[in-house]
Amino acid sequence: MNRKYHSPSIPFARGKHLTPIIASPSKHSDRATSPPRSQNKSQLSQDVPGKEEVCTSSPVNSLRPPTKDAGRLEEALAQVRATSPPVTFTLHFEPFQLFPDFPDTADKQEWYLHEKHFDNEAAQQAYQSHMTSLLEPHGVKLNFAGKMGNTLHAHRVIQQVQRDRGADAASRLVEGLYRRYFEQAKHPSGDETLVEACVEAGVGEDEARELVEDKELGLREVRARLREVTMDADAVPVVAVEGKRRDITLTGAKEVKDYIKALETVVKESG
């Protein structure tokens, strides 16, 4: 199929905390586990021999933290890269929102209680305990307090950073956004959250503030890309590896071995 996904974006989609970089809460909570973020599709630049791109689509504040699954993809990439394959894999983030009409701000605890757990406090507590037990062994200390909200501008900023500064900066940005949202209870697309994450990713503070505060910069492009991606995905994470012969798409949480198999298949078929 050799689809090419070109768009500025970040969420929110990074390699480390895969779900993405950045979007709205998942309405398919049984299928969504992660972005950047962000929050997590893939692409092969056919005009650049020997280069494969692993793209991810995912929302930043999906119902389930993406960190665990994102770490699996990153581990798979590290293992395959260690074999010195004849291709180079580059992680590319695509923007995706399950709830594009989500309000700018909502209380995270209240939203989960009403929308996810039907006002059943015991169910919410059980859910939080379960998620905590899953993520703590991976060094992630979940914080269920704080605000959540529409992540359109987080996606916009991620895409701009990815376009202007490349995959590594985008990955750092998505990682920083996820950490601030999931562990520090900060608004996923608040101006200060975005500025802090941009600076941490290597963007100068003045440049970061200008990018974040200019709400029109890249807005039309990211909205157009969101419409395109939504035609191919309705849940996260989605990881697509585009190869010379075919694309391999993995939807839902996968094990390291599943990602390695997909990556090695692309390597084999690129020979």
pLDDT tens, position by position, 63-118: 345 555 677 898 999 999 999 999 889 999 999 998 899 999 999 999 999 999 99
By percentage, how much of the chain surpasses pLDDT 70?
A: 75
Burial 107-135 (b: 16+ CB within 10 A, else e): ebbebbbeeebeeeeeebeebeeebeebb
Quote the CA–CA distance of 31 and 153 in Å, as a whole number: 25
Quote the CA–CA distance of 204 and 200 in Å, as a whole number: 9
Band of pLDDT at residue 244, cut at 50, 70 and 90: confident
Reported pTM: 0.78
Quote the CA–CA distance of 259 and 271 in Å, as a whole number: 19
Fold of 51-96+233-270: Glutaredoxin (3.40.30)
Cβ atoms of 34 and 58 within 8 Å: the answer is yes
Quote the CA–CA distance of 36 and 56 in Å, as a whole number: 8
